[in-house]
Structure 1
């Protein structure tokens, strides 16, 4: 059964490799067309050829030929897209499809409810954040939890949010999953639902007025989970309408440092979860993989293999949970399910700007565990034209900025 699965995986990889080669060739052809257009444009703007900017019959054959070449490229791209859709067995959204459909595909949802039996290694983190909450006084204390995908930001916030001492301390608690696709109105309606108000009417101003009414004179805690937007105008409007004082607080989870900074989180109140150590990693794995025996592994051989697999997860909680949930924990199965293990990290890659994606993909040509010189990378990126030049910076300074963007 396993060899058959491997053959199937190999065929799938070969098909995808052919598709990527075809797409790369089409990109090269499109770049050639753009280069030809640039050359013709530069020739046309010379003083002696200024009249060509308006109209020139001599340019019609070139324009017609370029149009035909672009049509051929578009037809091949459409054909590749259809093949990919058929191959993967799922429909692919286009730019012409309703925005709601795209938002539905991208949205993420989280709840304040969590399984406390699958939480390990957060005792010190929770104590620190609770101390911050209990010592809040004037204004609205903002606490940030910042880190990479899957490191446990939401779990940390959920654990604190549901802590018994926290429940007793705050008179009102509100949990909102912001995610990548949101509107100001959706956030306020979610806050009101937490407060027991399900009224579907009213505009944003009235919604904020209601929230203020429910929270006035009370000590409250708001959990804003998975915030992505660097545009904090929506938060500033909500913040202005919230009552201040009485030790009220807000906990914000995000992958982006700039987000918490713009939302008013001080560095002293920014928490960065760390990956789990080996002991906690193995404990978390056992809680999931051996749930039937209450987290106990009685097979020595299985434990040896399991620890090798857990080491490959590098302490990332979400990766450990994904591996622990597999029906078997043999190494071959880990390789077969690598996409599942790294699903959370793919979102981090998808959110990179295009030029950083190109820079990041350069690492694929290096051997595993290779030591890479930063200067070598920067010069390579500059030479390939991946580094955008702006604000009068030199190419090396721009390359250093790209390097910092990736390491962050």
Structure 2
């Protein structure tokens, strides 16, 4: 089958992009790989100026427009990363850009897109609904559509990430499996074409959110199904591209679906073990390794951290939830007698156990608490889940009935 994009198209795109984007590093990731039990290599597209791989395809497409098309201006629908890529390069090329973004797009992506010079219109709950607004604005103003994934030049531009990865780390079969997040399919299509040229035997694994398994369904002839909130809004695509579906049908070996907790653990794992800031979609490849570690055990695996544009408040929440999951933050409820000195006694016991108190809530007014008793809710910093249980045992031994309110993973998972 003849594909709509060739390896030569990707090589040409690489020449066009020289000096226009960052050639991001391809690095061994021993700390994260050890936590996963995998020989892991990462391509760090989160380090692009606009925070994601989308800058690649955006420039290749925009630079191909003729003078008449540039004068009309361009439009795109995007949850954020394609938006920033188009806005940045359009401004650099003196092209007016309008970006339609879903209403719930994280604030950081909206503001960055505006700061790159685009006119931002927020409309709809999903990209599919944003597309309706795009069509309306095209009819009204004559804008040129810069599609986020279903365009040969976009696919070729995204494929340069795979070309760089294989040039930097793919020699002599150094990579056996390549794991790539899938939204509309532009990134995995381009990267698969590049990777297969270097190593026809390389295994290409896609990753999608269980909430939006659009490519997974399309390749199986199933009707599209989608819905719900997802941390990986960058790959929350209802319907994949026609071109990208055919490329994936030819070159992608399998697609793994990951749930929200696995995506969250992947974002946390990138930060904790590899000092990398990844958005939900950007860490989806790692989420697949958390979901199915046996699938990757003993293999030389590469993945792309395809974006780092995560809302700071959301990142803070993910990191704090990670500390709780690992038993390094724990919330305890302690029943005490309502007498002077009891609070100091509890604090002393916790301190002697080697924990640090972060917060204390002292409740004596609830009607279900006996009038001569009170409840303490204490947030403490600890070493691990076993340490939490040691502290609970120490408090119980002193007659202070204690329960753990936080949800800890007790099976010793590193992520």
TM-score by length of 2: 0.25
Q: Which protein has the bigger strand share?
A: 2
* Structure showing greater Rg: 1
